[in-house]
Structure 1
Amino acid sequence: MTPTGVVVAPSALDREQWLAVRRTGIGGSDVAAVLGMSRYASPYEVYLDKRGELPLDRPQHPDLAEAAFWGHAHEPTIARVFAERTGLGVVEGPGTLAHVERRWMLANVDRYVLDERGHPSSLLEIKTRSAYQLAEWLHGVPDGPALQTHWYLAVTGYSHAHVAALLGGNRLIIHRVERDEQLVEHLVDLVGRFWRGVLDGTPPTVDGSEATADLLGHLYDVQAGAVAVADPAEVLPLLERRRELHERAARTDDELREIDNRLKATAGEAEVVKVRGSVAYTWRRNGPFSQKRFATAHPDLAGQYRHTVDALDTRRLADERPEVFAQFRARRFIVPTSKETAA
């Protein structure tokens, strides 16, 4: 199909079959997460997914699901406009590609770009992004899409690719990406090490990303009262480091509060403080409304503005269906002090 890419699955697969194929290797959308550069997924989550330890078609992050919907909806239009503006022909591909020698390297290319003879000669990666990201796209392809594009170049063997991004629904930016052989080799090496860990059951280090925290909070079916006996050599240094960081954070919070208080005292009754003609900081009365102070000061007026809201009766749910209630409770992480016990 391409210089180094062969078709390993047709494009007509249903979603469950397609997800199963994705688990046989690393695709372009996995690369940023594997390298710890994704907001929504971590290396640990990708590892568990490729090992088959997560549900095959688990719910996406709402932001990702919405972005994926609009990306899919706009893709044909962006491909057509790209062809009109560049004069290059484009065509949809036959399905999932794998590298001819390293079959774990996968690619689902959005479109193939045709040469003057009508033969595929490069690829087109299509993105739909917020207008707030315009500045990131003006002078080149941002890191995440650039890594994905180079991964596809690594799989296909093409010398260049095109990236077309629709920003804010009304601005199309097109970049040509030349193959960087050093980057390709580096990606194959780093991601290859990760894939070897998937095959031999060696997980990546659990990182400090929000994606990992969210995953761990919902990953396990909790067994009430279950106790795990941990290795002191592993856990005690982590607990000590955690204590040190908490103490440092507390000191930092105290110092910041002192500085803020001194700046507020300088402002006095003023909302704006200027230094050398420029606004240095503001202290306006535009923060959260204090319902408690208002109700205490004006009880009659507060009564006029009270209203009932439609809310889930979680207390009744807990009483009548405790097993269902327990399934949706968040896990609380508590490290007791020497004088406490974990609740």
Structure 2
Amino acid sequence: MTTTAEQPTTVTPMGVVVAPAGLDREQWLTVRRTGIGGSEVAAVLGMSKYASPLEVYLDKAGELPLDRPQHPDLEEAAFWGLAHEPVIARVFAERSGLRVVEGLGTLAHVERRWMLANVDRFVLDEGESTPSSLLEIKTRSAYQLDEWLLGVPDGPALQTHWYLAVTGYRHAHVAALLGGNRLLIHRVERDEGLVEHLVALLGEFWQGVLDRRPPAVDGSEATEELLGHLYDVNVDAVTVADPAEVLPLLTRHHELKAREQRTADELREVDNQLKAIAGEAEIVKTQGAVAFTWKQNGPLSTKRFAAARPDLAQQYTHRVDALDTKRLAAEHPDEFRAHRARRLVVPKESAA
């Protein structure tokens, strides 16, 4: 029987602290593997450019290195996001008139401990001694300004609602610094239907982690990149696969490659017809407006230039540092092979 004294102490309406602030990176990553955090929601739902559901699954199942290298774009963005976070929090407080305090560490939902959150800041209304909402802080490119002017984009909105689900708060604030010189502040009201939907979808995913049921391999670039470096290659090893699984995939592969070729040929035909219409002109107009252009502003044809003006070509030719891959392969064949990319080759006519 559970006594009152054994009940966990909530620090938000539905959130309890499961790991204190200030953990070293390895400890923090270990805690993250005990559930799903806000930054992983979009990936689990197949909405992330940099991570796929399969990668999140493999990480949670302990089948990937704990502190593996991040995508360079993500690593750089994370660095600047962390550097700007205190300044954005301070300016948010100044402009909103609300008080902010730092997070308490990693939170979990009091009933569903796999629901995790690392809240950037907590927000206190005027005259209150305890937080009543949270602040999510983002640093984004100026190219995303138009999207943020309309509200909180999908990815950050899902992360914010996940934090509302974990903490139990009724609303949150999102402060986004765009291009380093434009701060936009949005208030996000809790959408109970969305919260329930997220809990159901991510709960199903988490049960798959517990049951060791990986998600299906999808067609995302993130999954392609993951599979490219996931396995240590066993040279000349053979896998005997189930024909019922492989043959339909091979048939689909051939169909898609044929369609791709047809589409490329059709597109080239249309482009050639447009170029013939343009002739010597760079701009083609119809009904008083520019319909299309065919300008001489593409890459330089170096071979044609060198043949026509060998004197100038020689003048502007210079040496560049390049890796001598042939020599590397000859002198260090094991290292050369270990760092080669894997290529998928499907015969045009399957032997199967």
Smaller-chain TM-score range? over 0.9
CA RMSD of aligned residues (A): 1.2
Q: Provide, for residues 282-324 of structure 1, a one-character-per-residue CA deviation record: whole Å limited to 9, x for no partner.
A: 1111111111122222333322222111112222221111111
* Rounded Cα–Cα distance in structure 1 between residues aligned with 2:165 and 2:43: 17
Please say if residues 97 and 155 of structure 1, whose CA atoms lie closer than 8 Å, have aligned partners that are also in contact.
yes
- Is 1:245 the counterpart of 2:256? The answer is yes
Match of 1:318 in 2: 329
User: SS at 2:132's partner residue?
Assistant: strand
* Rounded Cα–Cα distance in structure 1 between residues aligned with 2:134 and 2:320: 53
Equivalent runs, 1:192-211 vs 2, <5 Å: 192-211=203-222
- Is 1:92 the counterpart of 2:102? The answer is yes
How far did residue 339 of structure 1 move? 7.9
With 332-341 and 140-149 compared, the bigger mean Cα shift is at 332-341
With 235-244 and 182-191 compared, the bigger mean Cα shift is at 235-244
Q: Provide, for residues 263-294 of structure 1, a one-character-per-residue CA deviation record: whole Å limited to 9, x for no partner.
A: 10000000110111111111111111111122
2:327 maps to a residue whose letter is R
- Name the count of aligned residue pairs: 341
Aligned partner of 1:216 among 220, 227, 232: 227
- Is 1:140 the counterpart of 2:151? The answer is yes
1:334 maps to a residue whose letter is V
Please say if residues 5 and 156 of structure 1, whose CA atoms lie closer than 8 Å, have aligned partners that are also in contact.
yes
- Is 1:156 the counterpart of 2:167? The answer is yes
How far did residue 140 of structure 1 move? 1.0
User: SS at 2:202's partner residue?
Assistant: helix
Q: Provide, for residues 167-214 of structure 1, a one-character-per-residue CA deviation record: whole Å limited to 9, x for no partner.
A: 011111000101000000000000000000011110101100000000
1:69 maps to a residue whose letter is F
Please say if residues 89 and 118 of structure 1, whose CA atoms lie closer than 8 Å, have aligned partners that are also in contact.
no
Aligned partner of 1:185 among 184, 188, 196: 196
Equivalent runs, 1:259-274 vs 2, <5 Å: 259-274=270-285
Match of 1:307 in 2: 318
- Is 1:290 the counterpart of 2:330? The answer is no
Aligned partner of 1:101 among 107, 111, 117: 111
User: SS at 2:234's partner residue?
Assistant: coil
Match of 2:242 in 1: 231
Match of 2:46 in 1: 36
Give the TM-score normalised by the residue count of structure 1: 0.97
Aligned partner of 1:53 among 52, 63, 66: 63
Please say if residues 254 and 348 of structure 2, whose CA atoms lie closer than 8 Å, have aligned partners that are also in contact.
no
Match of 1:81 in 2: 91
2:310 maps to a residue whose letter is P
* Rounded Cα–Cα distance in structure 2 between residues aligned with 1:20 and 1:160: 29
User: SS at 1:126's partner residue?
Assistant: strand
* Rounded Cα–Cα distance in structure 1 between residues aligned with 2:147 and 2:310: 52
* Rounded Cα–Cα distance in structure 2 between residues aligned with 1:296 and 1:191: 61
Please say if residues 109 and 152 of structure 1, whose CA atoms lie closer than 8 Å, have aligned partners that are also in contact.
yes
Give the TM-score normalised by the residue count of structure 2: 0.95
- Unaligned 5+ segments in structure 2 are 1-10
* Rounded Cα–Cα distance in structure 2 between residues aligned with 1:272 and 1:66: 41
Please say if residues 26 and 106 of structure 1, whose CA atoms lie closer than 8 Å, have aligned partners that are also in contact.
yes
State percent identity of aligned pairs: 77
